Amino acid sequence: MNKTIEQLLAHRSIRKFTNQAIPQSTLETLIACGQAAATSSNVQAVTVVHVTDINKRARMVKLSGGQSYVASSGAFLVYCADMNRPKWACENQGGTYAAGMTEQFIIATVDVALAAQNTVIAAESLGLGICYIGGLRNDPQQVADLLRLPDYVYPVFGLCLGYPDQDPEVKPRLPLNAVLMTNQYDASVFPENVSSYDQTVRQYYKTRTGGKKDSTWSEEMKALVGKESRVHMQEFLRQRGFLQK
């Protein structure tokens, strides 16, 4: 393996950060790395809002469900899927924007994920730690209002960046055989591989929490996908101008 592969396989979410500031030049380089990611048809449907205002950061903590590291990280970024800029370019050329297309929603959301992950990889290569904050979607309208996001823009997730003040273990992933398939989908591999993974995850949690958490991946999936979640997102996205066609 080379250093890049070793770095990717060593990824952890960091939730405790030192007080060391991230230089502006470093932050700008990391965002530029994100811009270098693949983008569908060169739409570049990504806008990143760097939240430096202390009061806004405090508000983001509450909106994310009380995740205090949103305030304590060296930098907090909100990644937005942005079709407002392509819309402006279209109309500036005398065109008529075809609003509400589901394909545009997919393009913008995928662009955000690719750009953010490029930034994350670059950040970790410099010794920084990261933590994605999907909790901003608990109340995306308040996030949008706080950041003054226009129509055709929505906050996909937040991203904490900073110098780590903890060294957690790498969380184990599903066995490769449960993920990599050849020529066709094969769910017959699930019983053996998921059962094995459940035991690995149970041991991971016991070790990491000193025996305070005793759970498996399957049990967590039962709790997560066995119920409706963030049902407000569909209407919110439609009000933003997405998912209408």
Identify any residues that bridge with 158 across adjacent strands, giving them in sequence order.
78, 133
Percent helix, percent strand, percent coil in the chain, to nearest 5: 50, 15, 35
**What is the CA 136 to chain-centroid distance, rounded?**
10
Q: How many residues does the chain have?
A: 245
How far apart, in Å, do the first and last CA atoms of the chain sit?
45
What pTM was estimated for this model as a whole? 0.96
Cα gap 41→107, rounded to integer Å:
9
The pLDDT of residue 146: 98
Spans in the chain with pLDDT lower than 50: none
The pLDDT of residue 1: 83
DSSP string, 52-120: --HHHHHHHHHHTTS-THHHHSSEEEEEEEE-HHHHHHHHHTT----TT-HHHHHHHHHHHHHHHHHHH
Residue found under tokens 């470093």: 26
The pLDDT of residue 90: 98
